A and B are shown apart, each in its own frame.
Chain A
Amino acid sequence: MDEIRAIKKILATVLDPEVPVLSVVDLGIIHRIAPLGDSYEVDVMPTYSGCPALDEIELNIKSILEDNGYPFIKINRVIDPPWSSDLITEEGRLKLKKYGIAPPVGHSADKVALYGDQRIIPCPQCESTNTRLVSSFGSTACKALFQCQDCKEPFDYFKCH
Chain B
Amino acid sequence: MSKSIAYRYTLQIADNSLILGHRLTELCGHCADTEIDLAISNIALDLLGQSRMLFQYAASLSGSTEDEIAMLRSEGEYVNCLLVEQQNEDFSQVIVRQYLFDTYYTLFLKALSQSSSSDELRAFANKTIKENAYHVRFSRAWLMRLGDGTQESHDKTQASLDFLKPYIQELFIPSQVDTAAIADGVGVDMSKYVDQFHTTLQADFAEATLSWEAPKYHVSGGKDGRHSEHMGFILSELQYMQRAYPNSEW
Contact = CB atoms under 8 A, between A and B. Distances in A.
A and B from one complex = yes
Interface of A: 46, 48-52, 55, 79-83, 108, 114-115, 134-139, 141, 145, 161
Given A50-B47, A134-B35, A135-B34, A80 B133 contact: no
B39 A79 contact: no
A141 B35 contact: no
> Does more than half of chain A's interface fall in helix, strand or loop, or is it mixed?
loop
B48 interface: yes
Interface stretch (B94-102, B118-126, B161-169, B181-189): B118-126
> Does more than half of chain B's interface fall in helix, strand or loop, or is it mixed?
helix
A50 B50 contact: yes
Contact of B39 (A46, A51, A82, A137): A137
B88 to A, nearest CB: 18
B173 interface: no
Given A50-B46, A141-B46, A114 B38 contact: no
B124 A79 contact: yes
Interface in B118-169: 119, 122-124, 126-128, 130-131, 133-134, 137-138
* Residue with the greatest number of chain A CB neighbours at <10 A, chosen from B38, B53, B131, B138: B38
B228 interface: no
B38 A115 contact: no
Given A82-B127, A135-B34, A52 B45 contact: yes
B39 A49 contact: no
Given A48-B46, A50-B47, A79-B124, A137 B131 contact: no
Contacts of A55: 250
Contact of B38 (A49, A79, A135): A135
Contacts of A82: 123, 126-127, 130
B137 A115 contact: yes
A50 B137 CA distance: 19
Nearest to A161: B130
